[in-house]
Amino acid sequence: MEYFFQQLINGVTLGAIYGLIAIGYTMVYGIIGMINFAHGEIYMLGAFIALIAYLAATTIGGGGVALALLAALAATMALTALWGWAVERLAYRPLRSAPRLAPLISAIGMSIVLQNFVQLSQGARVKPLPPVIQGGFTLTQGDGFHVHLSYLQIAIVVLTLALMAAFTWVITRTRLGRAQRATEQDMKMAALLGVDVDRVVSATFVIGAALAAVAGMMVTLYYGVIDFYIGFLAGIKAFTAAVLGGIGSLPGAMLGGLLIGLIEAFWSGYFSIEYKDVAAFSILVLVLLFRPTGLLGRPDVEKI
Amino acid sequence: MAAAGGEVRRNAIDAVIGGLVAAALALPLLGFRLVDSAQGLSLGFRFDLVLWAALAVAAGRFALGLLGGVLGRHPLRPPEALIGPLSRSRPWLGWAMIAFAALLPLLPFADRNLIDKATLVLIYVMLGWGLNIVVGLAGLLDLGFVAFYAVGAYSYALLAVNFGWSFWICLPLAGLLAAGFGIALGFPVLRLRGDYLAIVTLGFGEIIRVVLQNWQDLTNGPQGISGIPRPSLFGLRFAASAPEGETTFAEFFGIAFAAEHRVTFLYFVILALALATNLFALRIRRLPIGRAWEALREDEIACRSLGLNPTTVKLSAFATGAMFAGFAGSFFATRQGFISPESFTFIESAVILAIVVLGGMGSQIGVVLAALLLVGLPEWFRDLQQYRMVAFGGAMVLIMLWRPSGLLASRNPTVRLHGGSR
């Protein structure tokens, strides 16, 4: 039982991270209908920028860890969002009216570029960071097994919840959110009614990249090692999460992320760690067989 | 004159903004460098690189802007006059390319290195033609094509190493096995549409790779399988000496042994395999099943109402594509003599898909051009190993921006009713 709770805690933490990345996929898919393959690399860039920003902040500030972390978080979100904006502007916007596969190939190309750019500029070796936030609670101490809940895990889940609340507020209450929802429903009609579609799409990429940046920073702190290749697997898993929850649906992305995190944690805890990715994909296939549009997705209406 | 001045001014402002954005983008990743030492991580500085990046982007933006103003169109898009003749179909072009490919090893400048590279390009051409059946003809987005390539490679390697079966027996078996995998994997998921199918196939590609990596007893895990036998020509071996009771190719023809013989032989094998794939794809388009694929790509609802079963039609396309990937995979195994899960990563699927899409979906010659561009060209720049992949990804983006529907687009139905409206 203690072991179960430990895996539950780990799974929820992991799920929070996947959920943040998945929102970027699902938003972009909802609005322009493309799989943004480079989103995983944006998350990887976020992790690297976070590491660099944190080191720079501690070098300059010299003082408190909390202040350095906050400064690094702000810098990471801003700079990664700029990368997200630039990728959309360069590689996707010119292809807005192109055949469906063109932006996909362009996105795969962009993801190869970003991955190798980071490998060239920062080196291929794994980058270790000693633990920054240490300590935590020991919840139970039954028969020799300690259930541990670290401060970092609490911080990750709380920050994720706060970001998702803020994000839901943006989508449901603000002018930008209304424009986004309008663009999602019908891009042409929204444009006719005076919504600046290009600006809305840019904003979508910026928000998605900022959330992925936070996920990148969390991973840097949580695992303490990053390399230029982490974006690929995290990207496809987050995309799996988005599809699992129903692509285009925002609560679905969060739910899907949580589920993928839990599946991974429990599978590696109880069965085998080698096959945890297989487990996540198999669950995806099973869910899609019975609910072809994901858990919370709207059924597709076929029009003739 | 005043208008021209305004143009220059606007371009200059754009260039400055572009430069500033580039500086901000480059600052964290180029300006700082993570230095890993015994004391832990520390930061190095390279702010000069940020300056150069910003200047380069600003200058490029300015030049492109001026060029666009002078030409009156987007500077990265080629003029119609250049593209028009290229995309018209020319029956003789295909034959000329086949003749050139067949004569390539006899040409004076063809050394072992060149033929080896041509063999690699042909593997991708064959894979591209195979995937073209799935993506170009049937319109199913398959992001895990490499899984079937891996199945073909491992089936040949395992059969040859464990049972000593020859390449020519294993080749059809590998194709059948891959097709069987295609059916087994495709059956549950082909009801899904578009992008759901894409993510599931991607997932399957990864699953196959993870299984190959972890099923130590069968596949020897990450170490891979080595010592895979080479193919023979009707029992004639391509080796310096043959074991008891067998003859080598050189002995049989009474010529001196040369390593080039095997390379050339392999080249002709893959050329024949690739051409067989091409012929198959061209002929099957005219059969009812090929027409059903194209019809399904264009309009699934119409197909259903006309009595086609979308699942079986899709499944047949999926399995056919998988079969050719299996053939290519077993050839890959015999050519390399060593395979490991490393060779079957997602990036391979992406490259094959990129070849199909960049070539122009459904176009057979387009696939050849794209394979030459994406696989052949980078091979020449092996020395620039590190910058090669950045350029490769950049080329994918640029070609798409340049020709969004592929180098040679051909989406017209292969068969038309006579006397139709067009």
Q: What type of residue is B232?
A: S
Please check whether residue B367 is in contact with residue B134, taking contact to mean a CB–CB distance below 8 angstroms: no
List of chain A residues whose C-beta atoms are within 8 Å of the C-beta of residue B199: 35, 236, 239-240, 243, 284
List of chain B residues whose C-beta atoms are within 8 Å of the C-beta of residue A116: 386, 389-390, 393
Per cent of chain B over pLDDT 90 is 12
Q: Where are the domains of chain A?
A: 2-290
Mutate: best of A80, A89, A121, partner B, most B CBs <10 A: A121
Mean pLDDT of chain B, nearest integer: 81
Give the least confident one: A275-279, B125-129, B203-207, B244-248. B244-248
Each residue of A104-157: pLDDT tens digit? 889 989 999 999 899 888 887 888 887 777 777 777 766 667 778 888 889 899
B112-132 and B346-359 are packed helices; what angle lies between their axes, rounded to 10 degrees?
A: 80
Q: If you measure CA to CA, which chain B residue comes closest to A239?
A: B199
How much is the pLDDT for A259? Answer: 92
Give the least confident one: A85-94, B13-22, B312-321. B13-22
How much is the pLDDT for B150? Answer: 93
Please check whether residue B137 is in contact with residue B363, taking contact to mean a CB–CB distance below 8 angstroms: no
HSE-up (13 A, CA, CB side) for residue B259:
5
Q: Dihedral of CA B74/B78/B79/B83: which sign? A: negative
SS3 state of residue B90: coil
How much is the pLDDT for B77? Answer: 64
How much is the pLDDT for B422? Answer: 41
Each residue of A191-248: pLDDT tens digit? 999 999 999 999 999 999 999 999 999 998 988 888 888 888 888 889 889 888 888 8
Highest mean pLDDT among A31-35, A48-52, B71-75: A48-52
Per cent of chain A over pLDDT 70 is 95
List of chain A residues whose C-beta atoms are within 8 Å of the C-beta of residue B132: none
* β partners of residue B40: B37
Residues 6+ apart with CB under 8 A from B48: none
Residues 339-398 of B with CB under 8 A from A: 346-347, 350, 353-354, 357-358, 361, 386-387, 389-390, 392-397
Give the least confident one: A162-166, B173-177, B296-300. B296-300
Task: Encode B244-280: b = buried (16+ Cβ within 10 Å), e = exposed.
Answer: eeeebbbeeeeeeeeeebbbbbbbbbbbebbbebbeb
CATH number for A2-290: choose from 3.40.50, 1.10.357, 1.10.3470, 3.20.20: 1.10.3470
Verify whether the Cβ–Cβ distance B189 to A285 is below 8 Å: yes
Q: What type of residue is B21?
A: V
What DSSP state is assigned to residue B231? P
The residue ranges of DSSP E strands in B64-190, in sequence order, are none
Q: Is the minimum CB–CB distance between B8 and chain A shorter than 8 Å?
A: no
Distance, in Å, from the CA atom of B216 to the CA atom of B205, rounded to the nearest integer, reads: 19
How much is the pLDDT for B90? Answer: 64
How much is the pLDDT for B420? Answer: 43
Verify whether the Cβ–Cβ distance A55 to B41 is below 8 Å: yes
Distance, in Å, from the CA atom of B44 to the CA atom of B32, rounded to the nearest integer, reads: 6
Residues 124-163 of B with CB under 8 A from A: 135, 141
Burial label for A226, CB within 10 Å (0-12, 13-18, 19+), is: buried
Burial label for B67, CB within 10 Å (0-12, 13-18, 19+), is: middle
Please name which of A149, A132, A131 lies closest in space to residue A140, comparing C-alpha atoms.
Answer: A149
Q: Could you give the angle at the alpha carbon of B150 between the alpha carbons of B145 and B154, nearest 5°?
A: 160
Distance, in Å, from the CA atom of B26 to the CA atom of A45, rounded to the nearest integer, reads: 11
- The larger pLDDT score, comparing residue B377 to residue A174, is at A174
pLDDT band at residue A158 under the 50/70/90 scheme? very high
Please check whether residue B350 is in contact with residue B152, taking contact to mean a CB–CB distance below 8 angstroms: no
Residues 283-342 of B with CB under 8 A from A: 301
Q: Could you give the angle at the alpha carbon of B224 between the alpha carbons of B223 and B227, nearest 5°?
A: 115
Give the least confident one: A236-240, B249-253, B306-310. B249-253
- Flag whether pLDDT at B315 surpasses 80: yes
Distance, in Å, from the CA atom of B193 to the CA atom of B201, rounded to the nearest integer, reads: 12
